[in-house]
Amino acid sequence: MTSSGAVFGRYNVAIVRDLADSLGEQALRMSKEEEQSVDMEKARQEHKFYTDTLRYQLGLELKELPAVASLPDCVFVEDTAVVCGDTALVTRPGAPSRRPEVEATKKILKELNFNIVEIKDETATLDGGDVLFTGKEFFVGLSKRTNQQGAQIVADVFKDYAVSTVEVTGTLHLKTYCTMAGPGLIAIGSSPHAQNALKQMQEMSEHSYNKLTLLDDEAANCVYLNIPEKGHVLLHRTAKEFPASAKEFEKLKDYTLIPVTNTELAKVDGGLTCCSILLNKCT
């Protein structure tokens, strides 16, 4: 349960967005040094598996936004809004090239009757990938994309919850190496950067969490859902990509585990959480 009484991870709608043809050549990358080319056909197949899983295997209603060629990163919808309860905070992404992405997300969230909050402060930057909601509180990563003003806006908007900031080093977003793998269960990478983020979170929090430590930071980006009649569900990276981390996932009891390959979008710093905004919409 969250502190509002909602079941943690209970979602029935997912916003997703198609891949822009320009992604392979133009999507932003943290590191240009080891640039690997994106196989767009494979990227589309992997993305289709992800969206089909949400729709057909887990029964979510999908709201699919079309891609726009001038927005090469638009598939990464997570960064465009932070939704909790009936409130949707439309973000102001740190990368200027990504700011127009929020318009399509805002429109669909309005149609879904969320209370929309927009960021007017032009000094604030906020990427959804830096916002971790544990069910009890928020942690906001201060990264190359999200700043203190952005974190303050999360605190101003979601007043029912404590909001703490975490310095993010060594990666793009907080959630690149730290997500929730279940109620009260934090999935965390084992690199010094990830462990340092966890330490900061533990020092600031009044709550105690269990940890699922994964050898590979990238594998710690997983998607937890609680689905009626299935219970705990976890989309996680495959054993082929990250064998040691997959073994850790396999130890989780009473979970439906769904391995999802993400080799192509990972080349442009995309993880599993990046490709959806999960919502619980009362009908």
Q: In the numeric block, which tokens belong to residue 42? A: 């494979």
Specify whether 232 is catalytic.
no
CB of 177 to ligand GLY, least distance (A): 15
CB of 255 to ligand GLY, least distance (A): 28
Does 73 sit near ligand GLY (CB under 6 A)? yes
Residues touching ligand GLY: how many (CB under 6 A)?
9
Does 101 sit near ligand GLY (CB under 6 A)? no
Nearest residue to 163 via CA among 185, 146, 141: 141
Which of 147-155, 215-223, 256-264, 265-273 is the region at the interface with ligand GLY (rule: CB under 6 A)?
265-273
Task: Determine which residue in the list 13, 15, 19, 27 makes contact with ligand GLY, applying CB under 6 A.
Answer: 27
Angstrom distance (rounded) from CA 186 to CA 207: 12
Angstrom distance (rounded) from CA 67 to CA 49: 17
CB of 145 to ligand GLY, least distance (A): 7
Coil vs helix vs strand at 163: strand
Nearer to ligand GLY, 71 or 185 (CB): 71
Nearer to ligand GLY, 151 or 258 (CB): 151
Nearest residue to 19 via CA among 55, 43, 51: 43
Expressed in percent and rounded to 5, the helix, strand and coil fractions of the chain are: 30, 25, 40
* Cβ–Cβ under 8 Å, residues 275 and 47: yes
CB of 268 to ligand GLY, least distance (A): 4
Residue 194 phi, psi (nearest 5): -65, -45
Burial of 40 (0-12, 13-18, 19+ CB in 10 A): middle
Angstrom distance (rounded) from CA 70 to CA 97: 9
Task: Determine which residue in the list 76, 133, 138, 158 makes contact with ligand GLY, applying CB under 6 A.
Answer: 76
Task: Determine which residue in the list 78, 248, 264, 269 makes contact with ligand GLY, applying CB under 6 A.
Answer: 269
Angstrom distance (rounded) from CA 183 to CA 181: 7
Does 78 sit near ligand GLY (CB under 6 A)? no
CB of 269 to ligand GLY, least distance (A): 4
Nearer to ligand GLY, 98 or 237 (CB): 98
Task: Print the SS3 string covering 14-26.
Answer: EEEECCCCCHHHH
Q: Which residue is catalytic, options 173, 178, 222, 232?
A: 173
Residue with tokens 């949707």: 88
Task: Determine which residue in the list 22, 24, 28, 259 makes contact with ligand GLY, applying CB under 6 A.
Answer: 28
Does 268 sit near ligand GLY (CB under 6 A)? yes
Specify whether 178 is catalytic.
no
> Where does this chain bind ligand GLY (CB under 6 A)?
27-28, 73, 76, 95, 172, 268-270
Residues assigned a catalytic role: 173, 274
